[in-house]
Amino acid sequence: FLMMFTLISKKIVKFLSYFLPEQYVRNITIFLVTLPRDMRTIFTTLQILFDTYYYKIRNRTALTEFEKIVEKYPDKDCILYNDAVWTLKDIDTNSNKIAQVFFNYGYRKGDVIALLMTNRPEYVCIWLGLGKLGVVTALINTNLRSSSLIHCINTAKSKAVVYSEDFAQAILEARPSLGSNIRFFQLGGQTIEGITKLDNSLKAAPDQAPTVPYKIDYKDHLMYIYTSGTTGFPKAAIMPHSRFLFMSASLRHLLGLTKQDIVYNPLPLYHTAGGLLGISAGITLGATVVIRAKFSASSYIPECIKYNCTVGQYIGEICRYLLAVPPKPTDVEHKLRVIVGNGLRPAIWAKFVERFNVPNVMEVYGSTEGNLQFANLDNTIGAVGSIPRFLPGSHYIGSIIQVDMKTMQPIRNENGFCVQCGVDEPGMFIGIIPWKNSVKEVFGYLDKSESSKKFIYNVFK
């Protein structure tokens, strides 16, 4: 169909070139060439919006979607970790135990508990179990130590910290600077005085979730995810259930995910890409997700082969690291139909696709604290997404404006309004905030003063 459409489009353009000015012909050519891509963009966007509308009017949450999928496929593999297999029922049972333990310790809706733990299935069970109580989980970057670690725990107003045994020393060093009322729970390792051994509490906990005397709603906070902290201390971005479900629906429709897919997710679970997008495929759709303690370039393709993965995730320089691994005949023996992420440089894109024979690369862009999401839907090398310009009100999707590259402040015209960038002109990507309760509502940072720094007013009118 696409080949036929392209052939007909060329004939139409050639015919019109006899009657119309060159600029008109150019605009029509761009419209026709990008029309298949733009139509797919519109169709996919509508699917996501319909799902989101359903979640909103039915007051759905990440928890209700998980419960629905557990009821349908209790014995379906949810998380694969080394040689361990965790079914949806296993995740549900363990998250129920977490909910029971922390309910009995007195934690309730709106409380915040920090989580510092390496990738493992228990990581998901902990924030999911806390979510069943309406408790917000602050996902702490495992690379943080001393002042940065203390800042992240304190700025979230955490009432407790859950950590794995490999972070015992980091917590003990930070403990004197943390709130005196904070309780500490350690998973694994030796018993430490003054710290609750979570393993013991979980063994005694029942398999059923506790009955809570309140309702957990669509817009309630589920977790806090921190920025990288490149311009100071990391900032906590708010992730409500509504945002979680929106991102889950986006990934499902963009990739055409089904419960038969097996997703290779070697990314940190404290990060949006790994801990939210990757894991959501398992707990809201019923796909299987492969996780590992830490990314390994030499293990990526071999493990995709081992687990029969159909979808692979990447971020940043991961693809460059994969190319740096000496080539093997087995590089193409995987079943990956698509890899998804952001940060694949155009300079190595074609080399990566050729060497590993990956049919589709979906480069995406998303802002954890903002409301901008884009995806490369047509496998164009170097592209991160597109805006269908033939649509009225395309500013609603997003715009790129000119900025002073030193101050990063918008450049304004003689009327005081921002100026859109031209072709191949670098600038700042901005998204409109149309109204409260819309799909593009911005929840920003926990620190509202930091959120306000992200707002620009009087942009185009």
Can you state the angle between helices 88-104 and 121-131, rounded to 10 degrees? 50
Does an H or E element contain 97, and which?
helix 88-104
Mean per-residue pLDDT, 244-270: 96
Which of 372 and 274 is assigned the larger pLDDT? Answer: 274
Mean per-residue pLDDT, 237-265: 95
Mean per-residue pLDDT, 57-72: 97
Tokens of 437: 């309760």
**Calpha distance 136→128 (Å, rounded):** 10
Strand partners, 248: none
Burial profile 320-334: b = 16 or more Cβ within 10 angstroms, e = fewer: bebeebeeeeebeeb
Q: Is the pLDDT of residue 2 over 60?
A: no
Which of 398 and 181 is assigned the larger pLDDT? Answer: 181
Q: What does the DSSP 8-state code read for residue 282?
A: I
Q: Is the pLDDT of residue 12 over 80?
A: no
Query: pLDDT at position 372, please?
Result: 78
Q: Is the pLDDT of residue 336 over 90?
A: yes
**Calpha distance 282→263 (Å, rounded):** 9
- What is the average pLDDT score of the chain? 91
Which of 297 and 20 is assigned the larger pLDDT? Answer: 297
Q: Is the pLDDT of residue 393 over 60?
A: no
Query: pLDDT at position 130, please?
Result: 98
Cα 395 to chain centroid, rounded: 24
**Which of the four pLDDT bands, split at 50, 70 and 90, describes residue 104?**
very high
Task: Name the one residue in this structure whose structure tokens are 């018993």.
Answer: 191
**Which of the four pLDDT bands, split at 50, 70 and 90, describes residue 390?**
low
**Calpha distance 363→361 (Å, rounded):** 6
| Residues of the chain above pLDDT 90, percent | 69
Mean per-residue pLDDT, 376-398: 75
Query: pLDDT at position 168, please?
Result: 96
Q: Is the pLDDT of residue 453 over 90?
A: no
Query: pLDDT at position 170, please?
Result: 96
Question: In this structure, is the dihedral angle defined by the CA atoms of residues 304, 307, 309 and 315, taken in order, positive or negative?
Answer: negative
Cα angle 245, 77, 93 (rounded to 5 degrees) comes to 75
List the single range of 79-83, 229-233, 257-261 with lowest mean pLDDT.
229-233
Whether 225 and 444 have beta carbons less than 8 Å apart is answered as: no
**Which of the four pLDDT bands, split at 50, 70 and 90, describes residue 227?**
confident
**Calpha distance 323→302 (Å, rounded):** 14
Mean per-residue pLDDT, 150-165: 97
Query: pLDDT at position 334, please?
Result: 98
Q: Is 342 helix (H, G, I), strand (E, B) or coil?
A: strand
Tokens of 447: 């620190």
Query: What type of residue is 173?
Result: E
Mean per-residue pLDDT, 53-77: 97
- Tens digit of each residue's pLDDT (9 = 90 or more) over 168-204: 999 999 999 998 899 999 999 988 888 999 999 999 9
Query: pLDDT at position 230, please?
Result: 64
Whether 264 and 119 have beta carbons less than 8 Å apart is answered as: no
CA-to-CA dists, residue 144 to 122, 127, 274, angstroms: 20, 19, 18
Query: pLDDT at position 354, please?
Result: 96
Q: Is the pLDDT of residue 49 over 80?
A: yes
pTM, two decimal places:
0.91
Query: pLDDT at position 145, please?
Result: 93
- Tens digit of each residue's pLDDT (9 = 90 or more) over 284-295: 999 999 999 999
